[in-house]
Each structure stands twice: as C-alpha cells, then as structure tokens.
Chain A
C-alpha cells in the first residue's frame, strides 16, 4: 500500500485516496471549436508511461482535495506531490 503525502494533510495511506489518472491532460476550453480527433484524444487517450508519471489522486477520505502526485509507475517511488493549483516542475 502506497504512502502518499497530501500537501494539505500530511502522509496518509493509499486507502484514503482514490486514483484519478493522468494529471497532464488538459480539458479543451469551453465553447471552442475542436476536431473530433482532438476531442477524442482528450476523452480517451492517456499516457501510460513506465517510469515517472504525473497523476491525480483524490484525498477522498481526508480533505477531499484533488492532488497531483509524481510517481514512478514501475517502482512506486513518489518524488513529489502538488496541490491542485500548484505549478508542477
């Protein structure tokens, strides 16, 4: 079980969190005309890298904040965690 540092609460066990997937996806702006392909990429295409990955976790049984976690998907090493509005490196 992972041990995730929530920037709001401190280090907590994984079972307090819900996984939220790729954090690098950016939603297209509202009212913007975009192609089927672009929209398709946003809705369905996700990177699944082996190694460093920036992903979302929701501290669902804690502060209920969405956070960004930089994790190595093969070793589970967590390098850094960010608040939702914090700029990532």
Chain B
C-alpha cells in the first residue's frame, strides 16, 4: 500500500530507511522514526481499535502519552506486549501489532452491538446490571465480565526480556525537554549543577519542534537542537530520551522508566528492554508541559476527530497529513497554527472558531493566507461510522446556548482545540495542593511541599516569553542554591504570534430532537449523559462521580477527559470548578510494565543464594538441595533410584549405627566479646551464664520481651572475654539485631561487642557411635577421650596442619562433635572427614535425616519454636532461671502463660504403626464431634523413626504432660485423614540422654 498521506518535504523521519511492519496481519511501510500511529496514518489507516464499553470504532486522538484510543498489542516470536500506545511505539523492521478489544476483527466487531444496547450500559452499569439473581454470578456474569474486561492479553509465558534498575543522584532533575525544560537545564548546567534532563519522546524540544516561534533569531527546532547538543557535551549533565518520569515519591525520590530497546528489533542479547531509574534529586523542576483539551460535541469519538496539536505534530514531525479536507474546531489561537500548517502544505482547511471577534497576529496571518474562518461557529456532530465523512456545523448564540443555521459540510478530519491543560500530575504526586486558575480555566500547582517547582506551561505559563524567562530564572535560582555559583546565562529574545485569549466553552449543546453521544472519556466511553445521570442519582463528590461513571479511570488516567468532566459537573451543579475540586493524581503517570518494576529480581535472582564452602562436593555427590532461608542445603544424597524417604532413612540409620557427617555451616555464628560478655549473655539467655568455665559450651534459650522463645543454640566460652554463640540458620540475622538493640539502646553501659562470624567458619557435625574413633584419627595429637573432651567440652586442635575447633555438642542425640575451620579450608576438612571416615562407614547426611534424628530425640527446632511458644511449651522450663532476671522473664508470670492446662510438647505414634501423620494435623478427642471440633493442639513435625521403624511425630497440645498414654486422633482436613494415635513422651529415643555423654 502506498503512503498516500505522506508529505515529501517536511518532517523529521529518516526517508532513507524504509521499514516494514504488520498491523492486524497486513504489511505496511513507514520510515525510521515513525510511530505506529504516524506510519498507519501515512497509509490512510484510521481505524485501529474498538472502545471499551460500546465497541465503537476507534482511531487516533493524540500524538503521545495522552492517547486514549490507539492501544495495541505487540506480538513478536510468540511473545506479547499488551497495552502499548500506537502514538508512542516506534516502528522497527518486523514489528507485528494487532488491535485489541474486538472480535472477530476491528472492522466487524460483534461487541459493537453494545452500541445499540446502550440503554443497558448507563453510568454505574457495573453496579446495576450484574446484580440479580446471585446464582448467576459464578456461571454467567463473571465469565462475561472477564471476557469483556481489559484491553490487551498478557502473556502467561516467562518474559525472557531483560529489565534493569539503576540508582542515580543529582542536584536537579528536570522532567520534560520542552522550552522550559531546555532553558532551565541550560541555565542550571551552566551554573555548575549536576542535571538530569528527561524526555519521554524520542526527540527533544517538545512544543518547539512544532510551533512557529523564534528564539534568539532561530526557529524553535534549531534552538532546541543547539541547546540539547551543548547539554549532551557537558560532563555534569545526563540527558535521556524515551524516558518517562512517572512517579514522585517521598524525600524527592522520583522514578523514571527508560525505554531502551522497545523501538529496536531484537538483535543484542544483553541490551535491556527497559530500565527503571530511581533518582534522588536535591531539587526538581517539573516541566512536563500541557495537554490540549478536547471540545465536546456529538459523536466526537469518531475516527478522524483528533487534537489539533496532534494534527500539527503529525505534519511537522512525521510529514503526515491526518486528512485532506480538514475542519479545525477551536476556542483559541492554537487551532490556527494547525490550519496554517495544512495550508502551507497545500491543503485547504476550514476554521470554526467559537469566539465572536478574536484578533491576534496569527489570525491575521491565517486570513492573509486565504484560510476560510467562521466565527461563533461550532461542530454539532461528526458524521461517518468508521471515519469522519462530514460534519453538522452551526452558528452558536452569544450565550452559547442556542444553535442556528445547521448545515452539513464535507470533511475527512476534525481537529479540535479547547485550549490547554497543564500536566500537574507529578507536582500533585509530590504533595503539592493545586489551585484553580481562572485565567486559563485549569488547575496549576500551588505551594511546593517537597523540593520541587513547576515551570512553563505545566505551571500555566502559556506564552513562550513567560515560559523562557521563568525557566532561565528558575534554572539559575535553583542551581545557585545548590552550587552557590553565580554564572548567569543571558536570556534569548522570543517572538511568538499567538495570544492566550480563549473562550470559556467546551461542550456543544444538543440540537433539538437529537440525542448524539457526546464523549468526555474516550477510553472508558463516558458520555455527557452518564455524568448527568450520576448527578441525578445523587452522586455529588467528584471522587464518587469518577468511580460511578469510570470517568478518568482508564489507562490514560483521564489526561484528556478530567477537566471537561469537572467543567460539566460544575456547570450542572451551578458551581465553579474549584468548588468541585479534582480527583487525586497517583503514580504512575503513564503505565509501567511489570517487568521494569521487577527488574532483574526474577526467579533465582529474587534473593541471594548462599552456598557453603562444601557446596561443590555436595553437588558432585548427588546432593538434592533444599532452600533453607537464602541458603542452599543438601536435603539428602541420592544413591541410585532412591526416593527422599529411602535416602533420608538410610542416612539417619547410619548415624545411629555408625557415623554420619552433616554440613552445618549455615548455622548462625556470632562472636560476643568484652569484659561484660558473661553478664550480657546472662541477661539474654534464660539460664545462668556467669559460671561457665573457659573451654565449655552451654545450651541456651533466648526470649523476646513478650516471653515467646526467640531462638536457641549453644554458646561456648573460647577465652575469658570471648564467647562463640550459635543461632539457628533462620534466626541468625534477627538475633544479631536483637543483641545490637540491647547493647546500643538498653544497656549501653555494658562493655561488649558482637559481630557475625557465620561466613568465617565452615562447620561439619560428626555424629554417631563411631564419631570418637573417627575424631581420634583426624586429630591424633589431641586428647578427644570422654575425659579429655567431655560432653559440652571445647578444644582447639590441629587438622592435618589446619587450625580447627572442636565442640562436643549434639543435635542428633548421638555421641557427636562439631568441627569448625576457617571457611577457606571447609572443603579440605570435609574431604578429610569423608576420607578418614571410610573405615568407620561414614556417610554424609542431609537436612531430612537431620530432622528425623532430632524429632525422635524430642529436640525442638523452628517448627516448635514458631513464635507462639514459651519455654514451658517446648519442655525447656528447666532452663529458665528463677534467680536472675533476663529478657522476657516478667512476661512468663502472666496468667495465660501459667495456666495449668497450658500447651506442651508430646510425642505422637499412630496406633497402626504405619500411617504417617501429616504435619499440621489437629489432635482431637472425638473425630466425629460437631464442627468446629475443639482441638487440643497441632502436629508440629513428623518423621519415620529409624530407631523403632514406625512413624513418629511431635505435637504441642493442651495439658500435654497429663495426656501421655491417652488414645486420641490426628485429623488432617487438608489431606482428608483421621488417624487414631497414642500420645507418648516427646523424648522417644534415649530419654535419659546416655548416648551424648557416652
């Protein structure tokens, strides 16, 4: 198809590079630098989608982020990118896009029948239509709403694209590179400030690229090119295009999304698709400009009706005509600029100006060019279904209430201008309360709450001279505050033809006997009649009207609709707009892809992975790993076709029978040092610590102030003022913070320091009856006999030339030792243990066997110390000192913690000795009791006892001590199981603890 609407001698696209792409499966051509919108318009395509509610035909309305219509879906190699704006997405070779919200096709859409059923879709139809009968919800209403809702279709596949995050700091962030952005950036940068200038479009310059103005004897486009070139060359300036600052957060942090390769065919594997910038700026200048306001008239959503500034930009930037028989409908001078561009490019426009007798240089110029102008004229309704074919126009009375001389004229596009709305979103997000400015009939920012200033047309400055002056001054002023430099650049002279005079008129009345839909919100199909209905039904607050009618709630966030909606509400209510107020602006200003928000933190990158120094050995020896917090730990070592159950049983059995070795590097380790270390531990732990001799370890339990057990572990006195504390893997970080809290804030008088040494030591637990024999071979020069190294003893020793520490402690309940060496020697230690241990039938064991061993011994772990238990519940009350005070002690005497039937840990064995009890099961007296069945407690951990070869579980149940011997039931509604059980002691194996002392 040829580009019938492309002009030869105007525009900024690269004519030397032709690009092909497909839209709804059909191939089109455009040029490098075209957007999908400009390329389609060049090809005469105006129908690109269907509206949300009525499925009315949709074309293009704008030329940038404000676009409410042209939302498309990009598809490439089976990957989808929903909700892209055709006015922003640049074309590249091989691009494939398609329309959304239409079926079977954009030309013939069955949903358009809604258009004829519109009496059933009035304001608030969500709340009215799908209410009764309730039984219809699940099968009929919900599927219908789901099918109809939303625009694009998100892919359910893994997104292979790369997204990045970046943190940046600057003196001054400037959001938008129009005249005010460029001028302020230049003034500030020349005054030594570190500046970031962000532009959401590919080209810098904003309105300067399209308006007929003169700055410092250059055209707007020439001047902006000069300034941006100089800014780019300065080392204190970062200039970014295709970058939208979309959120203004606390303490002057702004977030910007940079579209790095959205406009490129995928060639470089590692080039990110998008990058999210977190920018902390000392000062912010908001130069986000303004968006043209539409005028509201009958069928004003017909493809071919668009903003006049957009039509001008299509001509001047893309060299594309939006029509060849244009009708310009305006209430201010901006429409004239567009008309003149048409005229200069050989097309005759007709201007309808709502004003009676306007005058300015630009109107004179239009007249001199021979452009036809009708004053006090309006468009009553657009005609044509899929594209504007003609328009009913009329003369309007001075009071703007009555129409006369209605006639139909031919046209193929209607370019509307209802004056300008400042983009105050970012200022509003920063906490700035806006105020209504009567002169421009729009809201502008009022008082800065954070360190921001709004400048240019975003601040309601609609003449270029005001804008440039304000921007140069602010750029200097703000930079001077930061750098204290005084380099002031001179302000160029400005020549502009248009004035800011405009009519306070936005909505054309309906002619008698006509009921045209006049749309306010083009994406959500909210018409004037919907607002009227909402008000008739009693909705008053603008926030309620918004939610009831969905005005301004679509993906464009009402950029083109909000003010006209407010104007209408205030007209009907006979209020002024400031009384009505506006709805709250919230980030993001434009949609941000989920991928950009997540960044690289996907899959395994969502958290760091910590590996022990022995990790490679585990890998080589068929370890199957499990996530333990951020650590990867061997769960079991697979032999042949073993299952988890078989392998863990084998490993646990071997510990009970011979000897096993387990990687315990992940245990938290904290060095506690200082003359008051003993006193500190005495306050932290529930048991006594003042008399622990050097070279001895002790098991300790620490509480939170509310009496709940926080963590447990052994702590060893290495020397007079040096203790080595161990914590559980999961609580290591919390315990360190806890200790620091008390040392820094509560008892700063204690002379103690704590530091994490988890990473510094590699640990191996050697457990089983053969462990001492193995140790004697590993440390031939050290006395590791029961007398030389008794239970809870500690020794430093030499492991084949490597300094090692031996702690005689046991989690498995067997005779056991933990050997620590510096992390770098971890692998050496491990391999030596395996090598020397061969003759003692050593096998490595993983966390599953570790659990089995501790469960059948009745040793508590995280599943019992679950943030709800006090020492008594875990049968640790023997460790609670009655003599001294400690953290959380006072809580233990509260009534709920001293009840006689308080929960306590017990053992649970199924009566049939074969059925495993699911963890989390309830223990109940009567499985057939009426619901809710009163529960006695829950099963916290289950294993297969290798000692007795039957299932065994731990449970925490009411009055546990007196329940031993009772026959009860374990119920798991989740697994649909009811298992008759017997309650036994939690110390299932070796209740006297003989083995550890052997």
Contact = CB atoms under 8 A, between A and B. Distances in A.
Do A and B interact with each other, yes or no?
Answer: yes
Interface of A: 1-3, 13, 18, 20, 27-28, 30-31, 34, 36, 39, 42-44, 56, 58, 60, 64-66, 75-76, 78, 84-85
B253 interface: yes
B745 A66 contact: yes
Given A58-B741, A66-B741, A85-B748, A2 B250 contact: yes
A1 B253 contact: yes
User: Top 8 A-B pairs ranked by shortest CB distance?
Assistant: A3-B251, A84-B744, A30-B885, A31-B885, A66-B744, A76-B250, A39-B890, A1-B253
B184 to A, nearest CB: 23
Interface in B426-481: 431, 449
B737 interface: yes
B885 A3 contact: no
A62 B891 CA distance: 33
B278 interface: yes
A65 B736 CA distance: 11
Interface of B: 167, 249-253, 278, 280, 431, 449, 683, 705-706, 736-737, 740-741, 744-746, 748, 884-885, 890-891, 894
A76 to B, nearest CB: 5
B740 A64 contact: yes
B251 A2 contact: yes
A44 B737 CA distance: 20
A3 B253 contact: yes
Given A1-B278, A31-B885, A36-B894, A66 B740 contact: yes
Given A3-B251, A64-B740, A34 B885 contact: no
Nearest to B449: A75
B891 A43 contact: yes
A65 B890 CA distance: 27
Contact of B706 (A34, A43, A58): A43
Contacts of A65: 740, 744
A71 to B, nearest CB: 11
Contact of A43 (B280, B449, B705, B741): B705
A76 B736 CA distance: 28
Contacts of B748: 84-85
Contact of B252 (A3, A66, A75): A3
A2 B746 CA distance: 26
Contacts of B885: 30-31
Contact of A84 (B167, B252, B745): B745
Given A1-B278, A13-B280, A76 B251 contact: yes
Contact of B683 (A30, A42, A44): A30
Contact of A27 (B737, B744, B746): B746
Nearest to B250: A76
Given A42-B705, A60-B737, A85-B748, 14 more contacts: A1-B251, A2-B251, A3-B252, A13-B253, A34-B890, A39-B894, A43-B705, A58-B737, A66-B741, A66-B744, A66-B745, A84-B744, A84-B745, A84-B748
B737 A3 contact: no
Nearest to A65: B744
Contacts of B280: 3, 13
With a 10 A CB-CB cut-off, give which of A27, A30, A44, A65 has the most chain B CB atoms: A30
A84 B706 CA distance: 23
A46 B451 CA distance: 32
Contacts of B736: 64
A65 B253 CA distance: 24
A87 B260 CA distance: 50
Contacts of A44: 706
A3 B250 CA distance: 8
A76 B744 CA distance: 25
A76 B534 CA distance: 37
B950 to A, nearest CB: 43
A21 to B, nearest CB: 10
Contacts of A64: 736, 740
A3 to B, nearest CB: 4
A78 B250 CA distance: 11
Contacts of A58: 737, 740-741
14 contacts: A1-B253, A1-B278, A2-B251, A3-B252, A13-B167, A13-B280, A27-B705, A31-B885, A60-B737, A65-B740, A66-B744, A75-B431, A84-B745, A85-B744
B683 A18 contact: no
Contacts of A42: 705
Contacts of B737: 18, 58, 60
Contacts of B252: 3
A56 B740 CA distance: 13
A20 B740 contact: no
Contacts of A30: 683, 885
A25 to B, nearest CB: 10
A2 B249 CA distance: 8
Nearest to B280: A3
Nearest to B895: A36
Residue among B431, B740, B744 facing the most chain A CB atoms (10 A cut-off): B744
A72 B251 CA distance: 12
A31 B737 CA distance: 24
Given A27-B746, A30-B683, A84-B748, A39 B891 contact: yes
Nearest to A64: B740
Nearest to B252: A3
A9 B287 CA distance: 34
Contacts of A13: 167, 253, 280
Nearest to B886: A30
Given A13-B280, A42-B705, A1 B250 contact: yes
B531 to A, nearest CB: 33
B953 to A, nearest CB: 33
A42 B888 CA distance: 11
